[in-house]
Amino acid sequence: MWKELTTAINNFNIDADWIGLRVVKETTNMYYVRDALPQTNGKSLTMGAMIEVMVNGCLGYSATNSLDIHSLQNAAEIAYKQALAASKFWIYPFTENQRPKIVGEYNSPFLETLESISAGEINDLLIKICQHLKLNDKIIQTTARITTNHKETWFVSSNGSEIYQRILAIGNHFGAIAQDGKITQQRTNNGQEANYYQGGLELIKPDKLWHQVEKVGEQVLELLTAEECPDISTNLVLAPDQMMLQIHESIGHPLEIDRILGDERNYAGGSFVKLEDFGKLQYGSSLMNITFDPTIEGEFASYGFDDNGIKATREYIIKDGILQRGLGSVDSQKRAGIPGVSCARACSWNRPPIDRMANLNLEPGTANFDDIIAGIEHGIYMESNRSWSIDDQRYKFQFGCEYAKLIENGKLTKTLRNPNYRATTPQFWHSLIEVGNDASWEMYGTPYCGKGEPNQAIFVGHGSPVCVFANVEVFGGG
């Protein structure tokens, strides 16, 4: 592959200042079972190339699903013409300094290849999960899903970059819906498809799997007779699987530099954060430490290099509550004049890279879970996202969870159903009063973060410990 790509890029007949060629090959397998009956056994394979050129300070892109030299040359000419036309109207001129020569390789860790068991064996596992979920007839639906992904990327440039990345990823999701008269409840393993990681088939065969399945079945029945969540302002304790979405929506998206610059305003919205806030805005309490870290082994959005070929590094986005840097690639950093991260990412070969969060994590504190609960006279503990709503500036939000427990005099007591909470982003993060330690830190991932025109759904990962927020408005309702 290297020889063919290097030959192609060295022989492109265009007068560009810089050329990048990114080839992506991706295979996805999807298995889905409902009520112990297989519904989907699908496999998709996609492969193609994206060519990026820099001309007179402007960038142009063109993609092709054919890797022969004629198709690549044609795509390069289209990208060149786009960049040349845009150079008459550029807003900010780029230079080759934004695309340094990088040589390297990244491979996901794994123990078992994604092909080490058959589709039939995976279906048998999903059927067994559904059967174990259906504890009685009040459970009216059970579902189980496994998705595997194998992605290879080759990147070469006219100034000598050669980068290879191989990512193996797998996710599982299962859940149950129970009904008793007019009351309907759902319970899943950690909410909205959060169990996605890098690795092999060993990730869907953990020792605790059947304990998790049994717990989901028991809790969905428990919710049928639970009290409704009260309407109250109180201490809110969020489990890591709900913190995943909280971090994603109220930290990740508002700190994307292209949104702040206005690039995403037409589709995904803008941000309440301003460029002048970086380096001085007190985003939350002093307990708040957020890192961008694509280097964590096994987290869903780990990589060695972004799709501009920039090496991935761990960086503090927020430190001691103060906003440090944005989620912006080298191009956005240059335009905005603020520090960013290596986060230019594309969902496939036929999309140009844009600013995307990757692994965005809340660093652990020092408190253990039992002590956190013991220190709360009154509060509510919530797990697993069920619904969310946030405005296009990422300022006002409300989230719903699947499962909750009342906290009374330092103990978890009654189960509560239909728990929700609302706040504004600054108010919420300033109310952070306790951060759990390493023992409560968990990481999750999702493949469904959408952004860009045309849309790009991309992998993201989030890790967090249990957290406590003071005087949050909590309310009930399905």
38 pLDDT above the threshold of 80: yes
Short-list 409, 430, 465, CA closest to 237 = 465
| pLDDT the model gives residue 208 | 84
The bridge status of strand 432-435 relative to strand 467-475 is antiparallel
Confidence of residue 206 (pLDDT cuts 50, 70, 90): confident
114 pLDDT above the threshold of 90: no
Judge residue 224's burial from the number of C-beta atoms within 10 Å of its C-beta, 0-12 exposed, 13-18 middle, 19 or more buried: middle
Q: Note the pTM of the prediction, 2 decimals.
A: 0.96
432 pLDDT above the threshold of 90: yes
| pLDDT the model gives residue 29 | 96
List beta partners, residue 463.
443
| pLDDT the model gives residue 33 | 98
Phi-psi group of 262: left, alpha or beta (phi > 0 → left; psi -120 to 50 → alpha; rest → beta): left
| pLDDT the model gives residue 411 | 98
* Alpha carbons 236 and 325: distance in angstroms, whole number: 28
Q: Average pLDDT, whole number, for the chain?
A: 96
Look at the alpha carbons of 113, 115, 119, 124 in this order and tell me if their dihedral is positive or negative: negative
Q: Is 475 helix (H, G, I), strand (E, B) or coil?
A: strand
Give DSSP secondary structure letters for 244-286: HHHHIIIIIGGGBHHHHHTTTTTTT---S--GGGTTT-B-S-T
For 238-281, how does the pLDDT look when each residue is reduced to its tens digit (9 = 90+)?
999 999 999 999 999 999 999 999 999 988 899 999 999 999 99
| pLDDT the model gives residue 116 | 87
Q: Which amino acid is at 195?
A: N
478 pLDDT above the threshold of 80: no
Span 105-132, average pLDDT: 94
Confidence of residue 157 (pLDDT cuts 50, 70, 90): very high
- Sheet of 360-362, strands arranged across: 322-323, 315-319, 290-292, 360-362
Q: Which amino acid is at 28?
A: T
Confidence of residue 91 (pLDDT cuts 50, 70, 90): confident
183 pLDDT above the threshold of 90: yes
| pLDDT the model gives residue 89 | 87
Span 386-410, average pLDDT: 97
463 pLDDT above the threshold of 90: yes
C-beta of residue 337 within 8 angstroms of C-beta of residue 435:
no
* Integer angstrom CA distances of residue 445 from 11, 43, 297, 345: 41, 21, 13, 16
Short-list 131, 141, 133, 57, CA closest to 97 = 57
The bridge status of strand 103-107 relative to strand 162-180 is parallel
Tokens of 127: 């059927």
Span 402-428, average pLDDT: 98
| pLDDT the model gives residue 90 | 81
| pLDDT the model gives residue 204 | 87
* Integer angstrom CA distances of residue 477 from 22, 251, 416, 428, 459: 48, 26, 11, 21, 31
Short-list 60, 44, 45, CA closest to 12 = 60
